[in-house]
Structure 1
Amino acid sequence: KLLVSMKSAYKQIMCNLMDKIHIYNFLDDNDDFIKMKLLKVERNTRWLTTFLVSFILMDWLLWSVIPLRNNIINKDRIANRTIRLETCLYMWMPFDYGYEFRTWLITHAMNVYLVFTGGLVLSFNDSNNFIFIFHFLGHVDILRHKMRTYFTVKLNDTDTKGKIVELIKYHSFILSTFKDMEAGFGANVTLNYLQNLLNDSLLLYQIMVGDKANRLTYLFMMQFHMGGLIVMSFALEQIRIKTEDLALDLYQVPWENMSTSNQKLLIPILLRMQTPLVFEGALGLQTGVRPLASIIKSTFSYYVMLKSSIE
C-alpha cells in the first residue's frame, strides 16, 4: 500500500481533495441541503476512521502484550532453553534474541514500534479510500438535488440555460473525479480484496482452533480486515446504485417548458447518465457486493479445507 501511495495518480487526487473534491468547496449559504450533506459525510468519515483505528490499535496492543505475558508464564522453560522468548514480529538479527533477555527487549521494543506504524498505515490508507467514496456519494446526491429543485420555479430561457450549463459542468466534474478515484485508488482497493481472499480463512482457522491466548488478537484482526472490506464493498456498490437512476431524475425535469435550444443542451448529459458508474479496481476487478460475497464463500470453503487437511 505504501508503493500504491507513491503513484502520481494517487498524489494528484490527494492534492485535489481539499481544493476541488471536498464538499466544503461547494457550500451555498442559501442551500441547507449541501450543508446537511457535508455534515453527514464528515460524521460518517469520522466514525469509520475511529472504528478502523480503534481495532488496529487494540490489535497492536494485544500483539505487544501477549508475547510478554507468555514469556512471564514460561520463564522457567525459557531459562532452561526449552522454548524461545516470544515477540510480535520475527526477523533476522545479527544477535540472538531468542534466549537473551536484553537483546530480546531491544528487539521487542523495535517490533512494537514497527507493528504500530504498519497498523496506522493500513488504517489511514483505508480511511483515505472512504473519505473519497463518501464525498463522491455526496456529490451525486447534490447533483440529484439540483436536478429536482432547479426547475421547480418559473425561469426565463437565459436563467434556464444557466442552470443547465451548471448541471453539465457539475456532472462532468463528477465523471472526472470518478476516473481520478479509479486511477488513484484502484490498486489499493484490489489489494484489499486480494488480502482478504488470502488471509481471512487463515484468521478464521486461528480463531476457531488456534491457541486460546492469541484468539482475541486474531478476532480483532478479522474484524478490522473483513469489517473494512464489507463497508468498502457496500460503499462502492452505492456508487453504482446512486448513479443508476440519475437519468430518471433528469427525465422529470419540465422539458416542455424549455426552448428547443435548452432541450438540446440536456440531451448529451442525459445520454451520459444512462450508464451507471461501476468502480473498477486494478486488473479490471469489478468491485461491490458480488466480489464480497465470493470472498466470504471462499473464506469458509478454505477454512473447511484447511481444517480437514490438518486434522
Structure 2
Amino acid sequence: MEDSVKDVFELGYMRMIRFSLSTIAQWPNKNFGTKTRAARIQSGYHYILVTIIVVGECSCALYLWRNRKILDFFNIGHVYGNILMTALLIQRITLNFQNKYCSVLKKFASEFHLMHHAHKSDFAAKEHSRINRFCKIVTIVNHVQVACGLPMYLGVPHFNNIRAGMFSENRPANKTFEQSVYYELPFDCTTDVTGYYIMFFYNWYPAYNVCAAMCIIDVTIFVIVFHILGHLNVLMHNMKYFPRPSDENEQSEREYNEQAFGLLKDLVQHYQIIKEFMSDTSSAFDMTLFVYLAFHQLNGCVLLLELSSMKAEAIIKYGLLTFFTFQQLIQTSVIFEQISSKSEQLAHKVYGLPWELMDTKNRKIVLLLFTDVQKKLALKVCSIVPVGVTTMSAIIKTTISYFMLLNTIAK
C-alpha cells in the first residue's frame, strides 16, 4: 500500500520521524517552506528548549561540584552519566541551527529518497519497496525504545522511594529522596515531598528530550543510510545486467555503442549523485557522529560501573539503559559498515562491464568510472575516521578497559 503513494510524507515512517523531530524542534520547517502556526511555534520553542537544557546542564554540573566530597563513587557515576547524556542532547538540539543539516533533510526528502527513482526500472521499484520495509521496522523499534526507556529510567528511583518508605508517616531517619536527575536548586527536593514531586514531574521533560534526541535522530540517520544502500544496490544491479551486443555486424555494433554510451552516462550520473549526497551527509553529521562516539566511549564506562554493584535496583535501572546504549552503538556501526561493504563491490561490478566489446570512447568512460569507484565510500567522523565495525570494536574494548580500571579504584 505504501509503495503506491506519491508523496514521501505519506509514508508512515517518514510521518513518524517528522512528528518526533518536531517535538524536539529539529524538523527544518523553514527549508520545506512550511509557514503554519505550528511551524512558527516550533521555531520559537527551539530557543526555549536550548536555554532550558543548557541551564539544566549547568545546574547538574554545579550540584556535582558542590557535593563532590559527600557523594559516593557510584552516585558520582550516576551524575556523570546524566551530564554526558545532556551534553549529547545539547549537541543534537542545535542541529536545526545548522544549514548543512537542514539542507540534507530537504535534499533527502525531495530528491534522494528512492520514491523519486522507483519509476526508472522494475528493480528500482522493488528496492524501494524493500528499503521502505526496513525503514519502517527500524523506525518503530527506535520509537519503542523511547517509550520503554523513559518510564524505566524515571520510574525506578520513584519505586525505590516507595519501597524505602519515604512517603509513609514514619519516614526512615537520615534518608533522602532518590531522583533520576540531580540539580543544584534553591529549594529542597531531597527531604521535602513537595520539592521531590516538583522535580520528579519536571525530570520527564529533559528525559524525553534525551531519549528522543538519541533515538529519533539516530533513526533519521539510519533511514538516510538505508536509502544510500538502496541506491548502491540499484547501481550495481544496472552494472550486473548491462546489455551486450546481439550480433557482430557493423550496424549492430554502432547501435550498441550508442546505447552503451547512454547507459554508461546514466551509471556515471547515478554514482555522482550517490557520492555527492554522501559527502553532504558526512558534512552535516560529522560532528554529531564525533560526539556520539565520544559519548559511547565515556558513558559506556559509567553504565558498566553502575551495574557492577549487581544490586537489583541497579540492574533494573541501568540494565535496560545499558542494553539500549550498546545496542544503538552496534546497530549504528553495522548499518554504516554496509556502505563500506557495498562500496568495495563497486570496482568488481565496473570491471565486469563488457568494456572489451565497446569502442574507444566508451572504454574511456568505463576507465574513468573504474578509477572513481576505487575511492571507498564511507560516512566519516569529522571527515577522518569512517564509522563501522572496526571503530565500534575499538570503542567497546577501550570502554571495558576503562571500566575495569574505574572498578578497581572504586573498590
Taking structure 2 as the reference length, the TM-score comes to: 0.71
The C-alpha deviation readout for 1:256-281, integer Å capped at 9, x for no partner, is 33222222222211110122213221
Provide the rounded CA distance (Å) in 2 between the counterparts of 1:217 and 1:67: 8
Name the CA shift for 1:230/1:95 in 2 (closer, same or farther; >3 Å): same
Match among 236, 243, 268 for residue 168 of structure 1: 268
The residue type paired with residue 244 of structure 1 is E
Q: Report the CA distance between 1:53 and its aligned residue.
A: 2.6
Q: Is it true that 1:253 corresponds to 2:353 in the alignment? A: yes
Provide the rounded CA distance (Å) in 2 between the counterparts of 1:240 and 1:56: 29
Provide the rounded CA distance (Å) in 1 between the counterparts of 2:319 and 2:132: 28
Provide the rounded CA distance (Å) in 2 between the counterparts of 1:294 and 1:77: 52
The residue type paired with residue 68 of structure 1 is H
Match of 1:36 in 2: 126
Query: Which portions of structure 1, spanning 4 or more consecutive aligned residues, are displaced by more than 6 angstroms?
Result: none
The C-alpha deviation readout for 1:198-232, integer Å capped at 9, x for no partner, is 01122122223254213122121112221111111
The residue type paired with residue 262 of structure 2 is G
Which runs of no fewer than 5 residues in structure 2 stay unpaired? 1-91, 247-254
Q: Report the CA distance between 1:238 and its aligned residue.
A: 1.6
Provide the rounded CA distance (Å) in 2 between the counterparts of 1:239 and 1:114: 34
Q: Report the CA distance between 1:10 and its aligned residue.
A: 0.9
Q: Report the CA distance between 1:138 and its aligned residue.
A: 1.0
Q: Report the CA distance between 1:283 and its aligned residue.
A: 6.5
Match of 2:237 in 1: 145
Match among 185, 191, 210 for residue 99 of structure 1: 191
Q: Is it true that 1:223 corresponds to 2:326 in the alignment? A: no
Q: Report the CA distance between 1:100 and its aligned residue.
A: 2.1
Match of 1:122 in 2: 214
Q: Report the CA distance between 1:188 and its aligned residue.
A: 1.5
Indicate the SS of the match to 2:203: helix
Q: RMSD in angstroms over aligned alpha carbons?
A: 2.0
Provide the rounded CA distance (Å) in 1 between the counterparts of 2:170 and 2:213: 34
| Matched-pair contact (CA < 8 Å) for 1:197–1:299 | yes
Indicate the SS of the match to 1:308: helix
Q: Is it true that 1:200 corresponds to 2:318 in the alignment? A: no
Which runs of no fewer than 5 residues in structure 1 stay unpaired? none
Match of 1:232 in 2: 332
Name the CA shift for 1:40/1:78 in 2 (closer, same or farther; >3 Å): farther
The residue type paired with residue 154 of structure 2 is S
Taking structure 1 as the reference length, the TM-score comes to: 0.92
Q: Please say which of residues 108-117 and 133-142 is displaced more in the overlay.
A: 108-117
Match among 45, 63, 85 for residue 135 of structure 2: 45
Match among 105, 112, 126 for residue 14 of structure 1: 105
Higher relative contact order (CA 8 A, sep 6+): 1
The C-alpha deviation readout for 1:73-121, integer Å capped at 9, x for no partner, is 2225984551222222222333222222223222211111221222112
Name the CA shift for 1:150/1:206 in 2 (closer, same or farther; >3 Å): same
Match of 2:281 in 1: 181
Name the CA shift for 1:80/1:300 in 2 (closer, same or farther; >3 Å): closer
| Matched-pair contact (CA < 8 Å) for 1:79–1:99 | no
Provide the rounded CA distance (Å) in 2 between the counterparts of 1:252 and 1:196: 41
Provide the rounded CA distance (Å) in 1 between the counterparts of 2:235 and 2:325: 33
| Matched-pair contact (CA < 8 Å) for 1:157–1:262 | yes
Q: Is it true that 1:133 corresponds to 2:225 in the alignment? A: yes
Match of 2:154 in 1: 64
Provide the rounded CA distance (Å) in 2 between the counterparts of 1:95 and 1:6: 34
Q: Report the CA distance between 1:43 and its aligned residue.
A: 1.9
Identity of aligned residues (%): 22
Q: Report the CA distance between 1:52 and its aligned residue.
A: 2.5
The residue type paired with residue 159 of structure 2 is R
Q: Report the CA distance between 1:49 and its aligned residue.
A: 2.5
Q: Report the CA distance between 1:153 and its aligned residue.
A: 6.2
| Matched-pair contact (CA < 8 Å) for 2:101–2:285 | yes
Provide the rounded CA distance (Å) in 2 between the counterparts of 1:170 and 1:80: 69
Number of residue-to-residue matches in the alignment: 310
